[in-house]
Chains A and B, each alone.
Chain A
Amino acid sequence: DTAVSQTPKYLVTQMGNDKSIKCEQNLGHDTMYWYKQDSKKFLKIMFSYNNKELIINETVPNRFSPKSPDKAHLNLHINSLELGDSAVYFCASSQHGGGNTEAFFGQGTRLTVV
């Protein structure tokens, strides 16, 4: 059983297209995240949701819209894809509070915009 699963694993698309990445966690966590990892391996948070409520939005372009239908799912929709959006996108989850610090990451979605 995969704790945090995201689909697809690879996504190749043309500039200007709209695409979605899905994420699901079966850990019962109340907080989910999207991180972006660039070609230099730098990881940066994009969004954080707690119980379906957006709590962190790190100055991400409006073309990126996260959607959380329930606390086990956090999808990422990207409009009008640009070359600079090419990166690996990681979904993660954690249990907020209680002194827990560990975030569990999915396997990543490698997005290539051509």
Chain B
Amino acid sequence: GESVGLHLPTLSVQEGDNSIINCAYSNSASDYFIWYKQESGKGPQFIIDIRSNMDKRQGQRVTVLLNKTVKHLSLQIAATQPGDSAVYFCAEGLTGGGNKLTFGTGTQLKVEL
């Protein structure tokens, strides 16, 4: 079946540095992608999404880049803060596919003071 993402890695960054979290997807038909943040003991929380007709989208302190050629998605977090520590998931979806999201395995982001 289709799969998204890699084995759960851990990314450690210093407070104030920029973080880049990567994700690979394999379903070339997916037409939207979402990044979710999951803090310990909580449900996933929407961060930002991007449609397949875009290659970049910016939010507050976050930027998502989409490279459809290599089926790669990244989340950039500027000036990483301790509150950014969480597991980050990429997910892909297909319009008309019942809004089903296929999640990657997640990346643990640890922010060191």
Interface window among B16-24, B37-45, B61-69, B72-80: B37-45
B106–A101 touching, CB < 8 Å: no
Kindly state whether residue A31 has any CB partner on chain B within 8 Å: yes
A-B pairs under 8 A by CB, number: 58
Residues on B with C-beta less than 8 A from A94 are 99
Interface residues of A in 52-104 (CB under 8 A from B): 55-56, 58, 90, 92, 94, 96, 101-104
A103–B101 touching, CB < 8 Å: yes
* Of B41, B43, B91, B103, most A-chain CB atoms within 10 Å: B43
Main secondary structure of the interface of B (DSSP, over half): strand
Interface residues of B in 62-109 (CB under 8 A from A): 87, 89, 91, 93, 98-103, 105-106
Main secondary structure of the interface of A (DSSP, over half): strand
B46–A104 touching, CB < 8 Å: yes
Q: Which of B8, B42, B46 contacts A108 (CB 8 A)?
A: B42
Cα distance A105–B93 when bound, in Å? 16
Q: Which of B8, B41, B42, B93 contacts A101 (CB 8 A)?
A: B93
Q: Which 10 A-B pairs have the closest CB atoms?
A: A105-B43, A43-B103, A102-B46, A55-B98, A101-B49, A56-B98, A105-B44, A41-B106, A101-B32, A48-B98
State the A residues within 8 Å of B (CB): 4, 31, 33, 40-45, 48, 50, 55-56, 58, 90, 92, 94, 96, 101-108
